[in-house]
Amino acid sequence: MCFGIRGKIFSKGIEISYKWFTFFPADDKISCMKKQVMPAIAPLKGCIEIPSDKSISHRAVIFSSLAKGRSVIKNFSAGADCVSSLNVCRNLGVNINYLDDKTIEVISDGNLKEPSEPLDCGNSGTTMRLMSGILAGQNFNSVLIGDESLSRRPMKRVIEPLSLMGARITANDNKAPLKIEGERLNGILYRSKLASAQVKSCILLAGLYADGVTSYTEPAKSRDHTERMLKAMGADITVDGNTVVISKSKLAPVQITVPGDISSAAFFITAGLIVPESEILLKNVGVNPARTGIIDVVKRMGGSIELLNEREESGEPVADIRVSYSKLKACDISGGDIPRLIDELPVIAVLATQAEGITVVKDSSDLRNKEADRITTVVNALKLMGADIKERTDGFVIKGKTELKGGCELETFHDHRLVMSFYVAGLVSKNPIVIDGFEWSKISFPGFENLMESLGVG
């Protein structure tokens, strides 16, 4: 059920001038939809196909744009973030065409062209951070911009190492817009304090253009889609534990089939575990070991989850996932768990409210630097619903099992993962809830509600 529409202005049309062009961001008006979520009155049953993996889709279109020749990407994500990456590459002179609604071809001469206008990354931090590494090593200047939410997110984590490589990047308080003056780059030996696939990918992509060797070491292994794909495309890259080394390389075109996104599957995994008598089969989901933290946590909680038909497609492990309603017990989530499930922590918080005992999530302070501060927002929302949850500087503590009372309206702060996490919480709530800004789910998962309804929700 949909409630009233209200408009929000996300940018002010402030003039931003640089020496080679001037631009005025247009007023970006987005309608905010309120969605009522009713408690589930029946089990969730069925077999569904999860949408394409965002992380792999981003990398497939961006990396193919750097390869000389024709690449074909099957099952490309329809999410707005990945379309932002596609459009940025088009605006850099790459020929990208849809062969059908899920397949694109990328035709490139291996060289990017100077853009005639700022490159709009929309809401996508992945687009902005990965492209900053590529654009730093070009022989032209560029500007990366984004929406209001993205313009608040920290970019120092990529500006700092890129500057050590010789990049010239100007930003206001280390936030977008990013003015990038193309320079000749030099390789560095960089040890990051943060396990971040976006930062790692940014530096490795800059390393494709840098003289010498670029080495990147992280404290824990983050998702490795970049390393896998660059290797498949012929890059001079090696991996040794948490260290990746790359040298200047040319990429070859490839054909890629993108698997289903485990981060999107997480909402259905959680719903299947906590809605009584549910059983769901999720087909063709990517199960890269750097992304399967949620599966490990579910097993530690005693949840019924199985990987079926395990196989490899386009260099990535894939499986079908079967999940059933379970009596759950609490567990601790910290350290090396975090990089493998950072995006799933909001819905894992919902899961923990239905587990007996005390679940402690720590070492996850980077949640505060997402589309919203996902620690404070998750704690406030679940507390409003009746959960016993306390905020920590680097996570939260949840005491379960708790009946979620609902009967409240939840703000989502333009954050797609909060929207879908709160929707799942609403399924096990005693009373209906209202989600403000439900349309933001389209950022990563345009068909989310329809898939839920196909399982019996509604």
- Catalytic site positions: 343
Question: Which residue blocks in 166-319 are alpha helix, DSSP H?
Answer: 197-207, 225-232, 262-274, 293-300
Determine the Cα–Cα distance for residues 401 and 49; give it in Å rounded to an integer: 30
DSSP string, 94-153: -EEEEEETTEEEEEEES-----SS-EE-TT-HHHHHHHHHHHTTSSSEEEEE--TTGGGS
DSSP letter, residue 453? H
Grouping H, G, I as helix, E, B as strand and the rest as coil, residue 254 is: coil
Q: How many CB atoms lie within 10 A of CB 371?
A: 23
Which residues, 6 or more positions from 46, have their beta carbon under 8 angstroms from its beta carbon? Answer: 280, 281, 454, 455, 456
Q: Residue 145 burial (CB < 10 Å; 0-12/13-18/19+)?
A: buried
Which residues, 6 or more positions from 121, have their beta carbon under 8 angstroms from its beta carbon? Answer: 84, 85, 88, 127, 128, 131, 144, 145, 146, 150, 176
